[in-house]
Amino acid sequence: MELTKIVESYNYVKSKMNQVPEIGIILGSGLGELADLLEEKIIIKYGDVPNMPTSTVKGHAGQFVSGKLHGKNVIMMQGRFHYYEGNPMELLSLPVYIMEKLGVKKLIVTNAAGGINTSFVPGDLMIINDHINFAFNNPLIGTNDEEIGTRFPDMSNAYDKDLINIAKEVSKGYGIGAKEGVYLMMTGPNYETPAEIRMARILGGDAVGMSTVPEVIAAVHCGIKVLGISCITNMAAGILDKPLNHIEVMETSNMVKDKFKKFVINIVAKM
């Protein structure tokens, strides 16, 4: 991503902000309500930010919401961009770089995902401890600007161990019962075939989804610490004898939103 483009987008967002956010939160499908809990809220529509694509998926608003959560300065993305919408993967990194320039040091990335691990049930929350990039594309492909980050980022600790430990503590303390595992990204937009899910399981995936990995790569690239949380909205294809659909995904995320909110708020308090 060209630095000049990032700066142009950042300048616009910065001009609307009244605080320096230290924590960024990207809200996945059906999880956008968390933004309603912010105090001293400021809303910045993606459509008004230079160079930003607009978000198109149902269940995704398209805006940055900044404000205070538990006394901490936070910026949330209510709605995100997906590769399957036709966005060049490079563009998915833009909001992350904007947040970094605004001052974000830690990023919570959330998503709806299908459960591959058969010990999971719909409604579970999973702390992401690693990922597999099965989209076979990368937001960093292209020229690299060393001012943003190194050409060859180290992904050995992409999901920050301290943040994972905080999430585990909160899970215990508040009876969240969060699982932990590996997120595998497929491009979508179709849900996977049962054979693809069997393959994903053999390869070490615990949950499958169509987002998150590009943003996490960009965050690692520019030095932001990441915590990933998947909401298991359904069992992945072929595990249960029933078809998958976006309505079920939205219904489950709606069902678990109170647990999700409690989890994230209390993580933010300890970050």
Give me the active site residues, please: 29, 60, 82, 84-85, 112, 210-211, 234, 246
**Residues numbered 198-227 forming contacts with ligand HPA, rule: CB under 6 A:** 208-210
| Least spacing, CB of residue 171 vs ligand HPA, in Å | 21
**What token pair was written down for 131?**
């990922």
Is residue 236 a contact residue for ligand HPA (CB under 6 A)? yes
How far apart CA 129 and CA 148 sit, in angstroms, is 24
Is residue 234 a contact residue for ligand HPA (CB under 6 A)? yes
How far apart CA 58 and CA 247 sit, in angstroms, is 10
Interacting span for ligand HPA (CB under 6 A) from 61-69, 72-80, 161-169, 231-239:
231-239
| Least spacing, CB of residue 239 vs ligand HPA, in Å | 9
| Least spacing, CB of residue 234 vs ligand HPA, in Å | 5
8 Å CB contact between 105 and 177? no
Asked if the bond preceding 189 is cis, omega within 30° of 0, the reply is yes
Which 8-state DSSP code applies to residue 176? -
8 Å CB contact between 257 and 30? yes
Is residue 244 a contact residue for ligand HPA (CB under 6 A)? yes
Applying CB under 6 A, what is the total number of residues that bind ligand HPA?
13
How far apart CA 67 and CA 64 sit, in angstroms, is 10
Binding residues (CB under 6 A) for ligand HPA: these are 112-114, 191-192, 208-210, 233-234, 236, 244, 249
